[in-house]
Structure 1
Amino acid sequence: MKSQATGSKLLQGAFILSAAALLSKLIGALQKIPLQNLGGDAVFGIYNTVYPIYTLLVTIAMLGLPSALSKIVAEAEAEGSPGEGRAVLLRASLVSSAAGLLLATATYAGAPLIAGFIGSGHVVSALRTAAWGLAVVPLLAAFRGYFQGLHNMMPTAVSQIFEQSARVAIMIALLLFLSSHGANAEIIAAGAMLGSAGGAP
């Protein structure tokens, strides 16, 4: 009976995560419409150059943490040791925060080098803006992994949708503000990346 309840909960959780991921992807796809229309081709080009790099760096910063933490927490819960799961969350939060801050600092300081490797000096400001997200996303990933280990997918689903909605709203607001104040393409693209850095890709 307990295994059936657990299986039902996992199935429900998988459905919730799938629906949230689908909605999040849809919101993310729609962000490119105002980005192109408000920012123009130059801004769109800088953003599309930096965003894949940001995605790669976020993946590195998280170090597969959510899956590993979820497994450990689930095992602790199964053994009747919820305190161990919370202790693991604390340690994982510290490690992920340190890794995120280190990578964010390296990205900010090394933005000119990355831009030189890409062959475009126009992406420096956008790379430095994206670095802020690297300091936050790994910590959020640790909490997602913890709740997934408890088979509670709702916090992860809600956070995905909220973060995606927030990043699009921030991006559009900054596009409108910076464009209306005559900012150049590099600064507008940096503003767009600030919105994207508000959540995990």
Structure 2
Amino acid sequence: MSETINLLLVSSWQTIYMVLVSVCIATVFGIPLGILLLITDKGHILQNGPLNKVLGTIVNIFRSVPFIILLIVLIPFTRFLVGTSIGTTAAIVPLSIAAIPFMGRLTETSLREVGRGIIEAAQAMGASPLQIITKVLVPEALPSIVSGITITTINLVGYSAMAGVIGGGGLGDLAVRYGYQRFMPDIMLYTVIILVVMVQLTQMLGDFTVKQISRNR
């Protein structure tokens, strides 16, 4: 029993590590991507049709590839970056690449909720594009952006389990190696329960954060 608990603890930590690092990377790159997708769109503050189409196409391509296929396709790139395609750190590469365009689209959608009247009022007062982004668009859409980060985190919990299929570590790897290959249904059940708890806690934390931000605006 103690061995099972140890396996579950180590695998849970690996999953948390993978997801947290991937979320941070997705947030750092995905939010600016979403901002670019919006402000370069037709009729917006920095309209740029060709750039918008290129970015939109790249995002759509990566979002349309199933994650399990992306895992395999990115094996050479992952090996180039971290020196191996197996393990927890290696799994962060495909997880992040899958999450960045997803986060970008969610951010773009959140920013579109900001009324055009607010943007036009800022322009009328002489605000620069950077000021409009940092003082109008992002602050107004912040609760929705945080909600998008929550959704991305929950998706990555599921993706991290899939990473276990190719030896990515974490709870998915534990479920495959012990629960499936060694016919240990109790391990499979425990991993499912832990994943469900992770998702529930993430959603609760995200909802709480959104409420706090909305209340303090």
TM-score, normalised with respect to structure 1:
0.41
Q: Which has the larger radius of gyration?
A: 2
Question: Higher RCO, 1 or 2 (CA under 8 Å, sep at least 6)?
Answer: 1
